[in-house]
Structure 1
């Protein structure tokens, strides 16, 4: 089945000569009616995760830290630091020295990313037989880590495996298997523009599984265009994988390995994804894939879409002066607007799009969306890798 899927990808590429994107969707001309509840100053948050107690954890692309947030009080504390992932380098450093080193001006050029690390994905897991709780954390430079919560306070972090692939992104545990995405096989995270604008006609991303007992890796899907966030379906039969460059959600059946698409031609280049299960599923455990997939991402614009659809144009663009042409042009394509889609899990239909383009002039707006959770019927929390803030807001209907 995997080979058939790759053949389909190659066939699609042959027809389009570029990443398989549909027409650039019409975007809203007016923002959704939004009321901001709170704005937390955070360093470019990437993924927002919630543990079984309702505590929020934030990874980011600024400094290699993971933060913990008590949402009701907006209390922010440090959960993990670069020392946890790279103790050989930072053992003798003070907390102040690490913070200054990993968040200094020099770091803006990405020189220090491989030393300080970058934490992207984080997911929580509870063992069914004993209730033990774990966090699984993806550090793009140091592999995937397990954090074990203990009742006596002696929590423990350990490396499950060192970096495999090059640009690890997200993770999800089922039983003894760790499923994870690799966004690119040759480009590291600090060259993210080169990952997005890769003119290789075969996608360099993959969806993989690591058997923690056998200690081996298996690639389940390859040829993905920027494999990103992952989550599991309500009935736990499927994985949903965010394919950023192709603006779609891949659907992978765990038992058979069959691959299809839940939704294509999204109005965003999607990042992390999160499943909001139905009330019936949450209360009774009867889960029939009738949840809502929360799909945040980056507003699609004609300029970026046109380049993604044409590999030769993409390659030509990347030969221009990188810091004076490529970087500012790319940043102009990633418009500073907030966009979150809600997708019906059963049908793949986009049922709602929350759109915001007024920040910072308009106070009732959020900016960009790398990760999002639905906290209530019309309440959300979102953060972005391109803006140092997390927004909690209500959509007024």
Structure 2
């Protein structure tokens, strides 16, 4: 018994190997844990640098706009009746692809076409050949950022004696000899009208007496910052008139939220003016000077408007669609000026295009609408996926052919009505 206890005491006195004797929480383990946690401070610093600091700067940095609540946008309409989804535009074709970029407005004069493009040129197209006629600005050209120096021809019409009347967003109103390329400046945008600068000249129409009615989309933002007009929401667009008899330009009425397309009524007694951001078209009576709403709650944000002598109706291109069941970023942001103030800090044309592309995926992609003399929608043509015609700024109708302009596409759309079954 005694010998057994002695043996046990000897066993207890033996020194066990280190790995069995080391208690939990030894110095080596603590060093290992400490080393494994060194990434945490580095991660927190990276997070602050890449996210927190930029967000703080974004919040405290002053916004370039003073946004207000955008009023006058009712709930978007349903796509029923004449707005029922269709794919008529898929019967169209793309012509002069990569030869024209951003052909917003188109004039069809017989088998001659005229359009302005993003490189600042007014172009004459005949028998498959694109010929550059005139440019009102100077190099550098071709980029959205240098439009201010290059110029950007937008709305255009042919007058009754064969001169092409062109409005350049930055430079003014011009009369062009399409044969020689010579031009006269009718109004230069460097001249203020009613004490306000013309920042963004847009579209025009010509009255029977030669008077030219044209829009100034904003007295604050130029065309290459047009997104700021949408984000700010302040109605400072207007309708102007050039009188060839006195060679003077006057302001007819203002307070338009992105004044855009212009078209005289069939009887020439009034001027129809597109108010893009409020998705409506106004009517200015030339005799009474009264302004009324001609068409409202349009299923998109309207661009140019053109009269078709063939059908006696008006065609309006929609720069961006809006309808019930789809998502419209402009409708969504209309009551949120603070959010728009933040977006204005990071605004770019690329961002605008990305938003347009993303939101277009939630409904009908491309649409143009047809209205009667009373301003009621009687028809629409659509490309639900945008696969053939991705955008419509203007519809020009000529002898059963419809041409589609776009301020950013690299082609002109063309549709022969006879090729559309049952239309």
Match of 2:316 among 271, 291, 295: 295
- Deviations 1:279-307, CA, capped at 9 Å, x for gaps: 6xxxxxxxxxxx20001112125342334
Residue 47, structure 1, aligned to residue 105, structure 2: yes
Structure 2 distance, partners of 1:204, 1:33, is: 34
SS of the residue corresponding to residue 163 of structure 2 reads strand
Match of 1:310 among 335, 339, 353: 335
Structure 2 distance, partners of 1:334, 1:49, is: 31
In structure 1, what is the equivalent of residue 372 of structure 2?
344
| Change over 3 Å in CA distance of 1:29–1:179 after alignment to 2 | closer
| Change over 3 Å in CA distance of 1:189–1:177 after alignment to 2 | same
Unaligned 5+ residue runs, structure 1?
A: 1-15, 90-97, 127-131, 280-290
Residue 257, structure 1, aligned to residue 289, structure 2: yes
In structure 1, what is the equivalent of residue 123 of structure 2?
67
Structure 1 distance, partners of 2:183, 2:288, is: 33
Structure 2 distance, partners of 1:190, 1:335, is: 22
| Change over 3 Å in CA distance of 1:324–1:359 after alignment to 2 | closer
| Change over 3 Å in CA distance of 1:314–1:26 after alignment to 2 | farther
Match of 1:23 among 75, 81, 86: 75
Residue 367, structure 1, aligned to residue 401, structure 2: no
Unaligned 5+ residue runs, structure 2?
A: 1-67, 192-197
When the two structures are superposed, what TM-score results if normalisation uses the length of structure 2? 0.71
Structure 2 distance, partners of 1:58, 1:33, is: 21
Structure 1 distance, partners of 2:180, 2:357, is: 47
SS of the residue corresponding to residue 387 of structure 1 reads coil
Residue 32, structure 1, aligned to residue 32, structure 2: no
Residue 354, structure 1, aligned to residue 376, structure 2: no
Shift of 1:44: 1.4
Shift of 1:79: 2.2
- Deviations 1:87-119, CA, capped at 9 Å, x for gaps: xx5xxxxxxxx5xx422xxx24x1x21111111
More strand by share: 1
Is the radius of gyration larger for structure 1 or structure 2?
A: 2
Shift of 1:66: 1.4
Match of 2:412 among 374, 390, 395: 390
When the two structures are superposed, what TM-score results if normalisation uses the length of structure 1? 0.76
Structure 2 distance, partners of 1:116, 1:33, is: 33
Structure 2 distance, partners of 1:295, 1:271, is: 7
Shift of 1:315: 3.2
In structure 2, what is the equivalent of residue 161 of structure 1?
187
In structure 1, what is the equivalent of residue 170 of structure 2?
141
Match of 2:130 among 43, 55, 76: 76
| Change over 3 Å in CA distance of 1:324–1:185 after alignment to 2 | closer
| Change over 3 Å in CA distance of 1:314–1:171 after alignment to 2 | farther
| Change over 3 Å in CA distance of 1:40–1:329 after alignment to 2 | closer
- Deviations 1:197-248, CA, capped at 9 Å, x for gaps: 2232xx1100011223333332112011111111111111111111111111
- How many residue pairs get matched? 331
Shift of 1:169: 0.7
Contact 1:24 1:305 in 2 (8 A): no
SS of the residue corresponding to residue 91 of structure 2 reads strand
Contact 1:22 1:265 in 2 (8 A): yes
In structure 2, what is the equivalent of residue 220 of structure 1?
252
Contact 2:94 2:411 in 1 (8 A): no
Structure 1 distance, partners of 2:399, 2:349, is: 44
Structure 2 distance, partners of 1:257, 1:368, is: 34
